[in-house]
Chain A
């Protein structure tokens, strides 16, 4: 239809940019993960699977991998369920619903480290809102420490759940608004209860999108760094030491660049698997 040489010129700038600043770093990541690196002389020496062996030998690795998967699961389940409820609520046709919809976007649009702080403030043992509220209502005699070694992982997933529930509700709401109204009207004439209507009309309609949100929420939890960094920084003890925090410590605090790169490779592979799942869902939906 149109001449063929123009599209190349239009694509080349972004293509080169992505090759240089995205694909090249990815290739280099794998090179680094399989090398011994001397930072002073910039010399690389082939190391085989040595760096990966180092990681697996590290007693922190397996527990932190399990914690990361758990954290992803918390964010995924919490964010998706609460997000769906928020979307159903925001889809009600009552007065003032526009205000609610407008506020729905807030948790998702603010910087994650501030979400971390917000909830840290609520749970803090000395200045936290929850302690003060319970104390004022005389439900507790003295301030409680809410974030302990046992529950730190769940507590630190709350800000991420809060953010992802906002995200989930936004995409589910736009799906809900795409449901043709006459389906509801027909079901009302047939005398379906609202619960049945949800079960047989609403939910099947938005289920594919909800499933996508479920996976996306998991990946967000799986790579979470910001919220953990400000809320617990991996502690107390190692109770919230996720892969991302471990990676940061290895590469930038202990300056063991190779092991950091090897950790990143593991993260990357998991993410690619999850992304394939996401694409499969996306395409099945399209057909």
Chain B
């Protein structure tokens, strides 16, 4: 009876794993196929003529000759990866610089307007980025930050900041107050107590904020599409593959695999922090 139950459980587990991973199977397969092979209906469900050509084409760029489509010009993906990386890391750093002192002040001090400020943060979290994309675009137009990386970094920072303060505050609340109060009693100013005592002890919180902002920025599509026109980040490049109505399927698959690798590795390595940050959604203040 017990073994039947566990066989049943493993069966369910297999179905669950397939649900999560099967969509990736065909993406990875396609990225190793030639376009001719992809187009042929008689082919099997695995790539028979294993090729790395798609990856070379996507990374190096240049003209690609499809089966019946004529030549398509492909841009090298590398500058796009570089820009995505710069934007994501800069956003994460800017958010940490802005969010950590604010979260500390929330966690430790009582001051006028504290509740109002917190309520505003809470409310802002419910404002979807798409709702303010139009005025944001106008502001960036006015500030002449259209088609620049600082423009997109400012955008990504603005809608990850409220939640980051929330994540960070939750971590600081869990840190014993004795830590910094002892420092203050010893004569250190709260600023010193914060930078010397709290920050080193709040590394998990910093990791959680970092991974949340990095992944959000890396995935963000709409603002990148609207604010950047030629030198974009990865998502608009990927979305543009099919725009010309000639989908370079195999190359698109290779580019997608490349752009998924980093978030997946990061999520695996920092899973603990990622989930802790996520769970805060279900907590009140």
Contact = CB atoms under 8 A, between A and B. Distances in A.
A128 B39 CA distance: 10
A251 B106 CA distance: 38
B99 A14 contact: yes
A258 B152 CA distance: 23
B260 A225 contact: no
A138 B273 CA distance: 46
B16 A111 contact: no
Given A10-B102, A107-B20, A278-B126, A15 B134 contact: no
Contacts of B259: 111, 114
A113 B281 contact: no
B139 A28 contact: yes
Interface in B91-127: 97-99, 101-102, 104-106, 108-111, 117, 120-127
Nearest to B221: A226
Contacts of A212: 281-282
Interface in A242-263: 244, 247-248, 251-252, 257, 260-261
A7 interface: yes
Nearest to B14: A100
Interface string A207-232: 00100100010010001011001100
B207 to A, nearest CB: 15
Interface residues of A, number: 98
Contacts of B120: 18, 23
A92 interface: yes
B51 interface: no
Contacts of B281: 171, 212, 216
Contacts of A9: 101, 191
Interface string B171-215: 000000000010010000111001000000000000000000001
B71 interface: no
A104 B274 CA distance: 12
A230 B256 CA distance: 13
A181 interface: no
B268 A102 contact: yes
B9 A11 contact: no
A60 B197 CA distance: 57
A218 to B, nearest CB: 12
A271 B98 contact: no
Nearest to A258: B134
A286 interface: yes
Contact of A271 (B127, B138, B242, B260): B127
Given A110-B219, A113-B239, A282 B284 contact: yes
**Chief secondary structure at chain B's binding surface:** helix
Contacts of B274: 105, 109
A106 B123 contact: no
Given A109-B267, A111-B260, A21 B26 contact: no
Given A100-B13, A122-B23, A260-B134, A283 B105 contact: no
B136 A25 contact: yes
A286 B282 CA distance: 10
Contacts of A132: 41, 43, 45
A84 interface: no
Contact of A129 (B13, B25, B278): B25
B284 A162 contact: no
Contacts of B249: 127
B162 interface: yes
A167 B26 CA distance: 23
A97 B256 CA distance: 28
A24 B6 CA distance: 57
A225 B130 contact: yes
Contacts of B133: 247, 251, 264
B21 A4 contact: no
A13 interface: yes
Given A6-B109, A94-B9, A121 B268 contact: no
B251 interface: no
B111 A121 contact: no
A267 interface: yes
Contacts of A209: 282
Counting from the closest, the 5 A-B pairs by CB-CB distance are A275-B126, A111-B219, A10-B101, A7-B105, A21-B158
Interface of A: 1-4, 6-11, 13-15, 17-18, 21-26, 28-29, 32, 82, 86, 89-90, 92, 94, 96-97, 100, 102-107, 109-115, 117-119, 121-122, 126-129, 132-133, 135-136, 143, 162, 166-167, 170-171, 174-175, 209, 212, 216, 219, 223, 225-226, 229-230, 244, 247-248, 251-252, 257, 260-261, 264-265, 267-268, 271-272, 274-275, 278-279, 282-283, 285-286
Interface of B: 6, 9-10, 12-13, 16-17, 19-21, 23-27, 30, 38-39, 41, 43-45, 97-99, 101-102, 104-106, 108-111, 117, 120-128, 130-139, 154-155, 157-159, 161-162, 165, 181, 184, 189-191, 194, 215, 218-219, 221-222, 226, 234-235, 238-239, 242, 249, 252-253, 256, 259-260, 263-264, 266-268, 271, 274-275, 278-279, 281-284
16 contacts: A11-B105, A11-B106, A13-B98, A17-B161, A105-B275, A115-B23, A118-B23, A118-B256, A121-B26, A121-B27, A127-B249, A129-B45, A171-B281, A251-B133, A257-B134, A275-B126
